[in-house]
Amino acid sequence: MENLRQKLKIFNYRPLVLVFLGLIFGILVKNFVSHKTAITITSIVLIVAIILFYSILHKKFKYFIILGLTFIIGFGIYSGYINTHKHKVTDMIDKTAVGTVVSITNYGDCLGLILEDIKVNDKKLDYNVKLYYNNTYQDGYIELGVGSKIEFIIMGQEIPAQFNEEGLPHTYNFKNNIGAEFTTYEITLLDSKSNVRTSFLDKIRNNLRLGLNNLNGEMIYSAMFGDKSELNHELYDAYKTSGVAHLLAVSGLHVGLVVVLLNFIMKKFHIKGWWRVLIISPLLVGYAYLCGFSYSIIRASIMALVLMIAPLLFSEYDLLSSICFAGSLILLIDPIALFDLSALLSFGCVLGIAMLYPIFKHWLHKVPIKEVIKDSFSISLATVISTFAVMTYFFGYIQPIGILSNIIIIPIFSILFMLTFVVAMLSLILPFISYTLILINPLFEWLNWFIIFISNHTKSMIIPNINFLSVLLFFVLLAFASKFNLKKGFTKINMVMVCSCFLAIQVALI
């Protein structure tokens, strides 16, 4: 019997993977039960049943216990999360409202403002509001910023949908606790007081403009902090078409570059061990705060800290366990992250590197080119493939050119990012240092020219839409194809083929 169990063994035991899977299944089942999507529920329950059967067959009852408990926890926290975001919205057209700006998005013809602490006719609302403000009808220019307190008359009102046709939550509305959308053509600025975060970021933005032109300054600013409110729309479209838009959204790459810089400084001052962790940890938290605590930066920060702490605890760092640990913490705090684009792309990229990079690197080991090129190509190909399903689900297209453009652009961008980041931080103390950026402004010009050139000579690959379950099955397929699957030869190929058939059937049923 023991030999049979060994032969049937597919993956090595990792408790954190089971915790992560249990939370995912719990959240999914609760979401789809609420919207009565029978096919999806049946598929998820079938997957859970297979895992539980596998656990019992191996007499690994701890598998059953971990999955069961985390399933219940995931089901429960998602239920509570949804219930706390149910709002009773009444008709408020033609009424006067007052609120504080917490976010600004430039849509070209109007501004999209997220407001908190809303009062309508002196009655406070228990939710935030998305205000669409078209200033073409208002005399005079009003400079708005995060922290500005404004007054306006509600000229239009809509209640935003909380869920899409597939029954999945609109994460933007949930994350920002948006209960209503208002429209107005005239506002009154009551107070322009800004918070600490806004003042800090404004100072960095202004310092960057001392050495870089507006286009380059906004580009690198958005790359540093994820704020694209003033980024040139044509340039952003070029980055998207070239497959390198992730450079303008704070991600694991950016956190990794920041950690490399911090570790370099720590090494120069001979700071090691727990002292290094104690110094870097609050700095990462501070950086995450400046970036608005996006899912990608939280994931990358947690994994970076785990990587530093593991050797201090005499433990071997396991990439897959680290990914699942970060994912579990995020889902426990904010279960809506499971359906969020930025979170799925962030975890998809790092899972792709963990599962596919070793395979591609092995295939290229005899190719007579430099190791750094092999590594870059393998990582780029792994991330493009692993995010294929997510990109298809949310956008309906992918950018094949991204495989090559990332190989060329990321090394150059990484150097420019670290140089600019150092100068930006030093400029807070010594503002004149910002003028040194004039020396690298031509490099930013060339980088943007190259990206625009690529975007003008490439086309997107349109892919038929898929559903959310297909995205999850795609990641299961990658897991079966990865090094984490202990099976080899035809057994492994058959597992991949069977999973591919399930995925094809799921897509065909859409």
What would the pLDDT profile of 345-387 be if each residue is shown by its tens digit? Answer: 889 889 888 888 888 888 888 778 888 778 888 888 888 888 8
Residue 495, in any domain of the structure: no
| Angle of helix 252-268 versus helix 295-309 axis, rounded to 10 | 40
Task: Please give the pLDDT value at position 479.
Answer: 85
Average pLDDT, integer, range 390-408: 82
Q: Is a pLDDT exceeding 70 seen at residue 454?
A: yes
Q: What is the DSSP string of 251-303?
A: -HHHHHHHHHHHHHHHHHTT--HHHHHHHHHHHHHHHHHHTT--HHHHHHHHH
Where residue 449 falls among pLDDT bands split at 50, 70, 90?
Answer: very high
Is 353 inside any structural domain?
yes
The last residue of one of the domains, among 166, 191, 216, is 191
The span from the CA of 179 to the CA of 97, in Å, is 15
Residue 278 lies in a domain: yes
Element (H, E) at 1: none
pTM: 0.86
Burial of 362 (C-beta count, 10 Å sphere; 0-12/13-18/19+): exposed
Which of 240-254, 321-335, 351-365, 475-489: highest mean pLDDT?
A: 321-335
Question: Would you place residue 499 in the very low, low, confident or very high pLDDT band (cuts 50, 70, 90)?
Answer: confident
Query: Virtual CA dihedral for 114, 116, 121, 125, nearest 10 degrees?
Result: 110
Spatial distance between the Cα atoms of 372 and 378, rounded to a whole number of angstroms: 10
Cβ pair 335, 27 in contact under 8 A: yes
Top-confidence residue, 47 or 39: 47
Angle at the Cα of 37 from the Cα atoms of 31 and 40, rounded to 5 degrees: 85
Q: Same domain, yes or no, for 344 and 422?
A: yes
Query: Number of folded domains in the chain?
Result: 3
Q: Are residues 261 and 185 in the same domain?
A: no
Domain holding 429, by residue range, is: 202-462
**73 and 110 together in one domain:** no
CB 446 within 8 A of CB 453: no
Are both 148 and 262 inside the same structural domain?
no
Compute the average pLDDT of residues 212-222. 90
Find all residues with CB under 8 Å of 268, minimum gap 6, and list them: none
**Which CATH number covers residue 145?**
2.40.50
What distance lies between CA 230 and its chain's CA centroid?
Answer: 20
Reference 328, options 1, 7, 6, 66; nearest CA is 66
Higher per-residue confidence, 4 vs 131: 131
Domain boundary among 191, 214, 232: 191
The verdict on 273 and 219 lying in the same domain is yes
Query: Is 499 among the domain residues?
Result: no
Domain boundary among the residues 50, 84, 118 is at: 84
**Whether residues 149 and 37 fall in one domain:** no
Q: Is residue 249 located within the same domain as residue 160?
A: no
Q: What percent of the chain has pLDDT over 90?
A: 14
pLDDT at 392 over 50: yes
Q: Are residues 222 and 315 in the same domain?
A: yes
Residue with tokens 């295939």: 363
Q: Per mean pLDDT, which of 161-165, 190-194, 292-296 is the most reliable?
A: 292-296
| Burial group, residue 330, by CB count within 10 angstroms (0-12, 13-18, 19+) | buried
Alpha-carbon gap, residue 111 to 374, rounded angstroms? 45
Mean pLDDT for the stretch of residues 283-300: 89
- Supply the pLDDT for residue 1: 45
437 neighbors 208 (Cβ within 8 angstroms): yes
Residue 400 has pLDDT above 70, yes or no: yes
Q: What is the pLDDT of residue 323?
A: 92
470 falls within a domain: no
DSSP 408: H
In this prediction, residue 42 carries a pLDDT of 62
pLDDT at 41: 59
Mean pLDDT over residues 472-483, rounded?
85
pLDDT digits (tens, 9 = 90+) for 337-351: 999 988 998 898 898
Confidence bin at 5 (pLDDT 50/70/90): very low
pLDDT > 70 in the chain, percent: 90
Q: Would the pLDDT of 308 be above 60?
A: yes
Q: Are residues 342 and 382 in the same domain?
A: yes
105-115: pLDDT as tens digits: 877 778 888 99
pLDDT, residue 324, reads 92
Which residues, listed in sequence order, are joined to residue 128 by a DSSP beta bridge? 178
Residues 43, 111, single domain; the answer is no
Residue 415 in this model has a pLDDT that exceeds 50: yes
Mean pLDDT of the chain: 83
What's the pLDDT at 55? Answer: 61
Place of tokens 């656990």: 55
Q: Are residues 158 and 207 in the same domain?
A: no
- Is there a domain that residue 489 lies in? no
- Give the pLDDT confidence score for residue 4 in this predicted structure: 45
Exposed (0-12), middle (13-18) or buried (19+): which is 232, by Cβ within 10 Å?
Answer: middle
Q: Which carries the bigger pLDDT value, residue 52 or residue 440? A: 440
- Residues 327 and 454 placed together within one structural domain of the fold: yes
* 103 located within any domain: yes
Q: Is 182 part of any domain?
A: yes
